[in-house]
Amino acid sequence: MRIEGKEYRTIWFENNVVKIIDQTKLPHQFVIKELKTINDTINAIKVMEVRGAPLIGGTAAYGLALAVQENNDPEFIKKSAKELIKSRPTAINLKWAVDRMIKKLTGINSDQLLSIALNEAKEICDEDEKFCENIGINGLKIIEEIYNKKKDTVNILTHCNAGWLATINWGTATSPIYHAHKKGIPVHVWVDETRPRNQGANLTSFELNEEEISNTIIADNTGGILMQRGKVDICIVGTDRTLSNGDVCNKIGTYLKALAANDNNVPFYVALPSSTIDWDIKDAKDIPIEERNSEELSHIEGIDENNQIKKVLIYPNKSKAMNLAFDVTPAKYVTGLITEKGITEASFDGLKKLFK
Ligand code: MRU
């Protein structure tokens, strides 16, 4: 998608380095950062220069290729894979991508390792782009149906950033929106700010602006009243891990939006590529929920009068804060899952029919 009119993907390999858009600087500064080593990659995932489940997976894949480039000793590659998997615990795409890379590299002669690793990382990214495009084509039908009934702007609420910046391109939750906009369907997006890191305000609103899609940032607690007053036609969110029973783990606050949507008969859809499905964990209580540094709550970043990014304390400095990054929405509150293979109910049978 576009930034200042120029097409980008979120990650690419050029001149022996991996290039990423540093998302900690957006929307105020557009910085392309180079990752040269496995440690650069692990750090980029941890500090969220790259984020969003599919992009974390793509970055981890390229990270392993960088590890091979540094030292193609099998023990070093194994250790790098383990450290990558630990770098963020909730998004299943990370482990999925690392496992796929290791499987591909096992038994390969050392002189071929690097080219095979680079090809597979690119393949993972290309595939994600295609899957996200298909999610858009499938999800477009739901938006079109609402528009055909309403004959007026379709109001969509989304949480966090499940946009192209969270994937390789297109996004998951935003892909149906981009497809609807390209087709000339009038859409408006309610963008949850998404405290504490404000991925909605900083990233989703930014990318929708760049594509000239009408959007309004709202505080995270605003969705409920908007739904009660008929101002939301549909919610579409992304996910970091969806269990095979249809339970959806996503950015903290998603669950409360799903409850409000359920109470107000607003359809609540989750968009995801198959790489986000966890076929192993059976009980949502076993999903590792990332707890991040409480500084992300107690401090806030913005730009000062000299256009410099500045961080300030907003809490009493003696107060404790807890920063859980994800929650789980039970399948019963999910109207449907929009995947690359089609739309299904959030259930084991629904997912199995599409994927197994
Ligand atoms: O902590 P983040 O910013 O990595 O969380 C991202 C989300 O919660 C997204 O909704 C999810 O990864 C889906 S991305 C298409």
Give the residue whose CA is nearest to atom 5 of ligand 1.
Answer: 52
Tokens at 288, concatenated: 């590792």
Res 226: pLDDT? 99
Mean pLDDT, residues 8-15 taken together: 97
Res 255: pLDDT? 98
d(CA 135, CA 182): 15
Mean pLDDT, residues 67-74 taken together: 96
Mean pLDDT, residues 280-305 taken together: 97
- Phi, psi at 238, each rounded to 5°: -100, -165
Confidence bin at 47 (pLDDT 50/70/90) = very high
Res 356: pLDDT? 79
Q: Give the number of other CB atoms < 10 A from CB of residue 333.
A: 21
CATH, domain range 2-127: 1.20.120.420
Mutual angle of helices 74-87 and 38-46, in 10-degree steps: 10
How far apart are the CA of 87 and the centre of ligand 1, in A? 15
With a pLDDT cut of 70, the percent of the chain lying above it is 100
CB of 180 within 8 A of CB of 144?
yes
CATH, domain range 135-354: 3.40.50.10470
Tokens at 68, concatenated: 């091979």
Atom of ligand 1 nearest to the CA of 56: 4
Atom of ligand 1 nearest to the CA of 172: 15
d(CA 254, CA 351): 21
With a pLDDT cut of 90, the percent of the chain lying above it is 99
- pLDDT tens for 254-275 read 999 999 999 999 999 999 999 9
Mean pLDDT, residues 297-314 taken together: 95
d(CA 246, CA 200): 24
Average pLDDT taken over every residue of the chain: 98
Output the 3-class SS for the chain: CEECCEECCCEEEECCEEEEECCCCCCCCCCEEEECCHHHHHHHHHCCCCCCHHHHHHHHHHHHHHHHHHCCCHHHHHHHHHHHHHHCCCCHHHHHHHHHHHHHHCCCCHHHHHHHHHHHHHHHHHHHHHHHHHHHHHHHHHHHHHHHHHCCCEEEEECCCCCHHHCCCCCCCHHHHHHHHHCCCCEEEEEECCCCCCHHHHHHHHHHHHCCCCEEEECHHHHHHHHHCCCCCEEEECCCEEECCCCEEEECCHHHHHHHHHHCCCCEEEECCHHHEECCCCCHHHCCCCECCCHHHHEEEEECCCCCEEEEECCCCCCCCCCECEEEECHHHCCEEEECCEEECCCHHHHHHHHC
Confidence bin at 172 (pLDDT 50/70/90) = very high
Res 244: pLDDT? 98
Mean pLDDT, residues 135-146 taken together: 98
Identical fold at 2-127 and 135-354? no
Mean pLDDT, residues 17-44 taken together: 98
Confidence bin at 276 (pLDDT 50/70/90) = very high
Mutational test site, ligand 1, from 134, 161, 250, max ligand atoms within 8 Å of CB: 161
d(CA 236, CA 257): 10
How far apart are the CA of 72 and the centre of ligand 1, in A? 32
Atom of ligand 1 nearest to the CA of 160: 10
How far apart are the CA of 55 and the centre of ligand 1, in A? 9
22 in catalytic set: no
Mean pLDDT, residues 202-207 taken together: 98
Q: What residue segments make up the domains of the chain, in order of their start?
A: 2-127, 135-354
Q: Which of 192, 220, 233, 240 is the catalytic position?
A: 240
CB of 157 within 8 A of CB of 235?
yes
d(CA 324, CA 345): 28
Task: Output Rg (C-alpha) for the chain, integer angstroms.
Answer: 20
Ligand 1 shell residues, CB under 6 Å: 51-54, 91, 160, 162, 166-167, 171-172, 199, 238-240, 250-251, 325
Q: Which of 200, 172, 221 is nearest to 57 (CA)?
A: 172
Res 37: pLDDT? 98
How far apart are the CA of 249 and the centre of ligand 1, in A? 10
The model's pTM is 0.98
- pLDDT tens for 81-133 read 999 999 999 999 999 999 999 999 999 999 999 999 999 999 999 999 999 99
